[in-house]
Chains A and B, each alone.
Chain A
Amino acid sequence: MEPATRLDQNHQLSIKELPYIIQWREDRCTRCGRCTAVCPMKAIEATVYTQRVVSSEGASPEPKVSRRLTHVVRQSTQIERYCIGCGTCSLVCPTDAIFPEYNFQHKLYHFRNKGGIPFMRGGRRNDPSTSTLDKLKFTRISMLTDPALDAGRHEFRIRTLLGRNLPAEQLPIKVEGDRLTISNNTFIPPVREIFPIRIGSMSIGALSPHMWEGLAMGITYLNEVEGIPVVMCSGEGGMPPSILKSRYIKYFILQIASGYFGWDEIIHALPDMIEDPCAIEIKYGQGAKPGDGGLLQAYKVLGLIAKIRGVPQFIDLASPPTHQTKYSIEEAVAKMIQSMSMAWGFRVPVYPKISGTKTARAVLNNLARNPYAAALCIDGEDGGTGAAYNVSLDKMGHPIASNIRDCYLDLVKQGKQNELPLIAAGGVGKGGNLAANAAALIMLGASAVDMGKYIMQAAAGCFGDEYNRCNVCNLGKCPRGITTQDPKLYRRLDPDKVAERVVEVFKAADVELKKIFAPLGRSTELPIGMSDALGVADKEIADRLQISYVC
């Protein structure tokens, strides 16, 4: 018998399978067409319905039925065009006639693998539950027995050190009379004093030119005008030679990753560089997609990106999951750290970044013995990405809190907690609590934290959230113009406004950190490892992190 599918559309998805359902108000809609024009997924379309109209004219009711054609906005049920819930339609609608509503019963993951290609997206882990970092409270408040500090009156030094701090016993210090002097011919590893919250690695390519420019202007302003030494990491893909050769390069951390994209330009710019970069980050892993390399999909490889990275346009730029030349941490990684150090005359801190993992302590213990390793950055599972498989994003990785705590306590056992700084990343500011999350990680043992998604949300209005909203960073369709190389999209984003917001975010975080540290009585140095100040109303988390259980 012939299947009846053509008649009842049995193999099509119903609207209830989709994660966002468009709520459209016919009575308000003026049919201007802005929503359908702006939708990055083409999830809504203008179409024509036949409408049954009952009308009556004259003194007494004489209902007449007629049919007329009417224009409506309809949501597509094609899985390739599913509504991502970004809400750009409601942003442009002049009459508030349309908005997407989250559908808790959706079955997106059941269907989003057409052609046998697993679901790929950008964004973050779609887990809206309260993160461990957000559960941590600061419970040791100085009261009466010891005066709390005044965040507004006392002087605070919200700074951290990026680079290897030699133990005092190894410093080239000698006593002459009653004063100390140093002998100059001993190697002292470079150390930078920076603000403890950094903008983590996001490449030009992953970010639109306007977004990247806005961030860069923002941190430059913070450094040069506000005196807050915020630094940001280039991500993989290099930087424009004009910046490489400028004095502003000192505010940037250059990242080298397994694809080495952008490093041709960097190497060529080296002889003309007038300042050293803040640091070099060697990316071995990323919290959002452990075990996967970087990926810039062809949609985003346009002229500027192709030029900076030295590749043709419109091809997928996939970095290998691992550095192909690296087969052991003992020698190859050590050599890479040394090579990068040597390129800048050992004047620049060089450190690896790995994804959060159960094996982080093994990496750490190796680096602790490597005199050239300047730090270790660990990126937890709540980190973001411009492109990854959904399965990697949602199911792979290690939470940052226990990872950083274990590593710190390992360093404490070796007495090296000040020698090798830990940088924590992944989920910082996930719930909007940037300073609190940063402070909690610092008290667990981090010397600094990285954030990425938070600054995209706070400075540029990124729509992404933990309900799988938007998340099309990989397709170059970012409706905000943050993660796209399409000029039609990124011209929506004003770099000056982004820069302004970057400045506001860091100034606010600076105040909030002081508000947290002041009652704990810490002001002249960061409360790194001051775990007695933390509490959590979850016994298991408390035991695991070796902090107080409070209720």
Chain B
Amino acid sequence: MCRLSAITSSEYISPMENIYALETMKEGHDGSGLGLMLKDLGGPFADYKNYPVLSAICSNKGLRDLDDFMKTHGFKEMFTWAPSIKNVPGIERRENYLAKVYDYPETYKDKPLREKEDLLMNVRLALRKMGEPDEQLFVFSFYPDVLTLKEVGDPLQLGEFFGLEKSGLEAKIVLAQGRQNTNYAIYLYACHPFFIEGYATMTNGENTAFVPIREFLMGRGNPGYMGYNSDSEVFTHIVHYTNRTLGYPLHYYKDVITPMKDAEIAKRSDAAALRLLKKSLRPLCIDGPNCVIGFTPDGTCFMVQDSKKLRPGAVGGKTGKYALMSEVCGVDRAVPDRDKSTDIFPMKYDMVIVAPGAREVKVWNQLHG
């Protein structure tokens, strides 16, 4: 079972904090991979807040293809960041790990954000399609103020490999997953966290209802609902579909993935709408076992579980810094000086929502709405 480590903070933090937290939960992951997703970037990216960052792993050929493609499509390169790689035994080094900041094409500069988001997603998909056959190019995210790093190996070693301790790379929200490779071959696109248009999630456990959920999402007409090298990628797309496409408030994500019984719904003030949702979005119902942690474009972080709480999770911290982890030892590592009596162990009806900037944490209870 994978281990999840998310930290949201009002101050910039190093992703190493997440990796150290993962290390405390090491019994739960087998060191087969690390996925890092950073939002609200500081350090070298602090001056490029409004410009999209493209995170990729590629060969030299893949890099040339990438540059050609971006140039052709009118994106102007503004800044490139690459980790200073330190060779670590057991980790196979690829030719290029990079995050490039671009300026939008002229025709898009004054377009509303929603259109820009669609453009960025379509570019990411086109690059993915281009690089997928020969695996010369992997693109994980292309969005303002978001950076992704993924590689196969032990998280702590990968931190050393990427030189994260000294890189100056920092962000206010960091998601990290220590991978337990079970059912699927190690493949970079199968590594969490997953991203689409400002939404990111990572999950542990298996998604037993993966196939019907995938088929339903693929029928929604959104080209971004693709990939699915991991059965957990659907969780990212469901939150995107619920919150962005349908426009429902974030907490309805819980009602979509774990709909309640009719008798329970009847007690909610929004019962009429919930009854319809339960039927119309029936294929998106999950059965777990899963704990989902993620963020939304505005910097809200959340944790939610399947309806039987078959995977645990813990949230703890203080105003200005909260950790959302698979296990409480991870929270202890990330925010040791918190009041532990306020730790939250969300139960089956709960959705933990941490406001942007780690201002406050709320437990939204599905029974009460």
A residues with a Cβ closer than 8 A to B are 142, 145-147, 149, 154, 157, 161, 165-169, 171, 173, 175, 178-182, 188, 191, 193, 412-418, 520-525, 527-532
Please, how many angstroms separate the alpha-carbon atoms of A523 and B310 in the complex?
13
Chain A residues within 8 Å of B279, by CB? 161, 165, 191
Within 236-277 of B, Cβ neighbours of A (below 8 Å) are at 245-249, 251-252, 258-259, 261-262, 269-270, 272-274, 276-277
Is residue B112 within 8 Å, beta carbon to beta carbon, of the partner chain? Answer: no
Selected interface stretch from B154-162, B216-224, B323-331: B216-224
| Least CB distance, A136 to chain B, in whole angstroms | 15
Please, how many angstroms separate the alpha-carbon atoms of A77 and B211 in the complex?
58
| Least CB distance, B160 to chain A, in whole angstroms | 29
Q: 12 more A-B contacts (CB under 8 A) besides A180-B270, A522-B287?
A: A145-B183, A146-B289, A171-B276, A179-B249, A180-B252, A182-B272, A182-B273, A415-B221, A417-B215, A523-B308, A525-B283, A529-B211
Chain A residues within 8 Å of B215, by CB? 412, 417, 529
Please, how many angstroms separate the alpha-carbon atoms of A532 and B215 in the complex?
12
Q: Are B308 and A521 in contact (CB under 8 A)?
A: no
Q: Are A523 and B287 in contact (CB under 8 A)?
A: yes
Selected interface stretch from B33-41, B65-73, B166-174, B202-210: B202-210
Q: Are A524 and B208 in contact (CB under 8 A)?
A: no
Is residue B285 within 8 Å, beta carbon to beta carbon, of the partner chain? Answer: yes
Residue of B nearest to A173 (CB): B273
Please, how many angstroms separate the alpha-carbon atoms of A532 and B283 in the complex?
15
Given A175-B248, A191-B279, A521-B208; A417-B273 close (CB under 8 Å): no
Please, how many angstroms separate the alpha-carbon atoms of A532 and B208 in the complex?
10
Q: Are B211 and A524 in contact (CB under 8 A)?
A: no
Please, how many angstroms separate the alpha-carbon atoms of A394 and B159 in the complex?
69
Residue of B nearest to A408 (CB): B215
Chain B residues within 8 Å of A523, by CB? 287, 308
Interface residues of B toward A: which range?
35 or more
Q: List 6 A-B contacts (CB under 8 A).
A: A146-B310, A161-B282, A179-B270, A412-B215, A521-B289, A528-B283
Mark each residue of chain B from 279 to 291: 1 if its CB lies under 8 Å from any CB of chain A, else 0.
1111101011100
Q: Chain A interface mostly helix, strand, loop or mixed?
A: loop
| Least CB distance, A350 to chain B, in whole angstroms | 17
Residue of A nearest to B260 (CB): A524
Is residue B74 within 8 Å, beta carbon to beta carbon, of the partner chain? Answer: no
Q: Are B289 and A524 in contact (CB under 8 A)?
A: no
Residue of B nearest to A167 (CB): B280
Residue of A nearest to B220 (CB): A415
Please, how many angstroms separate the alpha-carbon atoms of A525 and B246 in the complex?
22
Chain A residues within 8 Å of B283, by CB? 417-418, 525, 528-529
B residues with a Cβ closer than 8 A to A are 1, 182-183, 205-206, 208-212, 215-216, 218-221, 245-249, 251-252, 258-259, 261-262, 269-270, 272-274, 276-277, 279-283, 285, 287-289, 307-308, 310, 369
Chain B residues within 8 Å of A525, by CB? 209, 259, 282-283, 285, 287
Please, how many angstroms separate the alpha-carbon atoms of A421 and B308 in the complex?
27
Given A175-B247, A521-B287, A525-B282; A145-B182 close (CB under 8 Å): yes
Q: Are B280 and A168 in contact (CB under 8 A)?
A: yes
Please, how many angstroms separate the alpha-carbon atoms of A166 and B308 in the complex?
28
Q: Are A530 and B289 in contact (CB under 8 A)?
A: no
Given A191-B279, A413-B219; A179-B285 close (CB under 8 Å): no
Q: Are A418 and B282 in contact (CB under 8 A)?
A: yes
Centre residue among A147, A180, A188, A416 by max chain B CB count within 10 A: A180
State which of A178, A181, A521 has its C-beta within 8 Å of the C-beta of B288.
Answer: A521
Chain B residues within 8 Å of A173, by CB? 248, 273, 276-277
Given A173-B276, A188-B276; A181-B270 close (CB under 8 Å): yes
Chain A residues within 8 Å of B248, by CB? 173, 175, 180
Please, how many angstroms separate the alpha-carbon atoms of A168 and B288 in the complex?
23
Q: Are A524 and B307 in contact (CB under 8 A)?
A: yes
| Least CB distance, B287 to chain A, in whole angstroms | 5
Residue of B nearest to A140 (CB): B208
Chain A residues within 8 Å of B1, by CB? 145
Residue of B nearest to A160 (CB): B282
Chain B residues within 8 Å of A412, by CB? 215, 218-219
| Least CB distance, B37 to chain A, in whole angstroms | 24
Given A180-B248, A529-B212; A415-B219 close (CB under 8 Å): yes
| Least CB distance, A546 to chain B, in whole angstroms | 11
Please, how many angstroms separate the alpha-carbon atoms of A413 and B220 in the complex?
10
Please, how many angstroms separate the alpha-carbon atoms of A522 and B261 in the complex?
15
| Least CB distance, A325 to chain B, in whole angstroms | 33
Chain B residues within 8 Å of A524, by CB? 258-259, 285, 287, 307
Please, how many angstroms separate the alpha-carbon atoms of A528 and B252 in the complex?
23
Chain A residues within 8 Å of B182, by CB? 145
Please, how many angstroms separate the alpha-carbon atoms of A529 and B218 in the complex?
14
State which of A147, A168, A520 has its C-beta within 8 Å of the C-beta of B310.
Answer: A147
Q: Are A527 and B209 in contact (CB under 8 A)?
A: yes
Chain B residues within 8 Å of A166, by CB? 276, 280
State which of A154, A157, A168 has its C-beta within 8 Å of the C-beta of B246.
Answer: A168
| Least CB distance, B306 to chain A, in whole angstroms | 9
Please, how many angstroms separate the alpha-carbon atoms of A417 and B280 in the complex?
10
Please, how many angstroms separate the alpha-carbon atoms of A178 and B220 in the complex?
24
